[in-house]
């Protein structure tokens, strides 16, 4: 499946999710559904001990002021609408996060540097506050879990230094599905995926893009994308130049001593019979040039796909133009994750009344002037577990 088709499939997926929700309201069918939600606690160790099933929805929410700085959040500051109906908020808490670093190590054209990706992932880890749980997964043709959930940053650093290895091609849908599965045993509202990738995916995977996105949405994961797409295109534009050297204009090598161009009245002043020649460097590898052009177009499509994934989930996408920008934006991702709150509410229309795979639209609005909120656009009601 091409990336151009994938971007349209994402839009199709969102339409299908909304259609499924409308059908559920019209038919009024009921099937027992519950969402796992743990008892709130600021201690990360308790995340693994307490697991109760309730009729609750949890949303990760980023709160900023007019200047873009992160702001404190209280219950009275927020209004939550689900499918247009206002909900009763039960709590607003600041809880430890579960952060999965998903690193794309496929590198078919040499435009994603694994050492740079290591450094970026390490910056995310270093900037995260203590007490958050972190896991590491890499993917090329298949996803591979390198480190399961831990609060030990030293262990994460060791994994990033020694186990992150370059591959050839990437299959993003398989990796997203594997990430969604890994989050199943973590508390809702604390799930954050940091995706370091160009989004360009080769066909032949085990799962379709639509199915992977549905599973990711059902897991209610906030996705933060550090994208290689712009950086890669800028690198390609430098490689694809085919004209180098002089501009071909004839100039006198010493116009001060030869103001009339060797006494030749047929030449304009300052010109000479010895030109500055153009030097052509032609890439004769037609197949490689074609491959680079295809990759460039694929990165444009992947930006649409990755951007929609981030917006739908309540995360952000960053488009650095240099390796230095990429490292700086890794710090921003960590600050964003560490500043988010978890809003809990019990839906007025019980989750038990939802059809399998039903999509519910969510809007989070500010009740305070100068407060700006960002959260996911909606969620797929998960299967009972």
In sequence order, which ranges of 200-249 are alpha helices (DSSP H)?
Answer: 209-218, 229-239
Domains of the chain in start order, with CATH, are 3-231+285-380 (3.40.50.410), 243-281 (no CATH)
First to last CA, the chain: 32
How far apart are the C-alpha atoms of 103 and 60, rounded to whole Å? 23
Output b/e per residue, 207-232; b: 16+ Cβ within 10 A: ebbbebbbbbbbbbbbbbbbbbbbbb
The candidate with the shortest Cα–Cα distance to 136, out of 164, 166, 174, is 164
pLDDT tens string, the chain, 385 residues long: the values are: 444 444 445 544 554 444 444 444 444 433 333 333 333 334 444 444 333 346 899 999 999 998 889 999 999 999 999 999 999 999 999 999 999 999 999 987 778 888 999 999 999 999 999 999 999 999 999 999 999 999 999 999 999 999 999 888 899 999 999 999 999 999 999 999 999 999 999 988 899 999 999 999 999 999 999 999 999 999 888 754 333 334 434 444 444 444 444 445 555 555 555 444 444 455 557 888 888 899 999 999 999 999 999 999 999 999 999 999 999 999 999 999 999 999 999 999 999 889 888 999 999 999 999 999 999 999 998 776 5
How far apart are the C-alpha atoms of 30 and 249, rounded to whole Å? 79
How far apart are the C-alpha atoms of 67 and 58, rounded to whole Å? 27
Laid out side by side, the sheet with 372-374 consists of 89-93, 341-345, 57-64, 372-374
User: Taking a C-beta distance cutoff of 8 angstroms, is the pair 319, 2 a contact?
Assistant: no
How far from the centroid of its chain's Cα atoms is residue 155's Cα?
Answer: 24
- pTM comes to 0.77
How far apart are the C-alpha atoms of 63 and 175, rounded to whole Å? 29
Cα–Cα separations (whole angstroms), residue 213 to 17, 67, 203, 271 = 11, 33, 16, 64
């Amino acid at each position: 499946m091409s990336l151009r088709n994938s971007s349209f499939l994402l839009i199709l997926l969102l339409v299908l999710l909304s259609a499924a929700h409308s059908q559920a309201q019209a038919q009024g069918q009921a099937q027992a559904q519950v969402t796992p939600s743990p008892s709130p606690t600021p201690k990360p160790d308790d995340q693994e001990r307490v697991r109760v099933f309730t009729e609750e929805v949890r949303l990760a929410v980023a709160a900023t002021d007019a200047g873009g700085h992160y702001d404190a959040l209280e219950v009275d500051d927020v209004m939550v609408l689900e499918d247009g109906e206002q909900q009763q908020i039960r709590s607003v808490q600041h809880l430890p996060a579960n952060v999965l670093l998903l690193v794309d190590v496929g590198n078919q054209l040499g435009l994603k540097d694994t050492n740079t990706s290591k450094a970026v992932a390490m910056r995310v880890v270093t900037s995260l506050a203590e007490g958050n749980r972190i896991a590491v997964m890499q993917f090329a043709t298949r996803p591979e879990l390198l480190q399961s959930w831990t609060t030990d940053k030293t262990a994460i650093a060791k994994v990033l230094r020694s186990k992150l290895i370059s591959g050839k091609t990437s299959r993003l849908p398989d990796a997203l599905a594997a990430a969604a599965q890994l989050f199943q045993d973590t508390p809702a509202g604390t799930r954050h995926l940091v995706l370091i990738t160009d989004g360009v995916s080769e066909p032949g995977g085990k799962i379709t893009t639509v199915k992977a996105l549905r599973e990711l949405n059902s897991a209610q994961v906030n996705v933060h994308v550090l994208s290689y797409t712009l950086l890669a295109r800028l690198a390609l534009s430098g490689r694809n130049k085919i004209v180098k050297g002089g501009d071909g204009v004839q100039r006198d090598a010493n116009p001060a001593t030869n103001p009339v161009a060797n006494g030749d009245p047929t030449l304009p002043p300052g010109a000479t019979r010895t030109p500055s020649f153009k030097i052509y460097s032609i890439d004769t590898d037609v197949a490689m040039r074609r491959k680079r052009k295809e990759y460039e177009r694929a990165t444009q499509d992947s930006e649409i796909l990755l951007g929609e994934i981030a917006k739908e989930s309540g995360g952000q996408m960053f488009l650095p133009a240099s390796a230095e920008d990429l490292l700086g934006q890794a710090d921003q991702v960590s600050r964003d994750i560490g500043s988010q709150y978890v809003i809990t509410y019990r839906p007025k229309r019980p989750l038990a009344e939802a059809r399998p795979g039903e999509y519910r639209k969510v809007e989070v609005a500010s009740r305070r002037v100068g407060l700006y909120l960002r959260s996911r656009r909606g969620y797929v009601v998960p299967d009972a577990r």
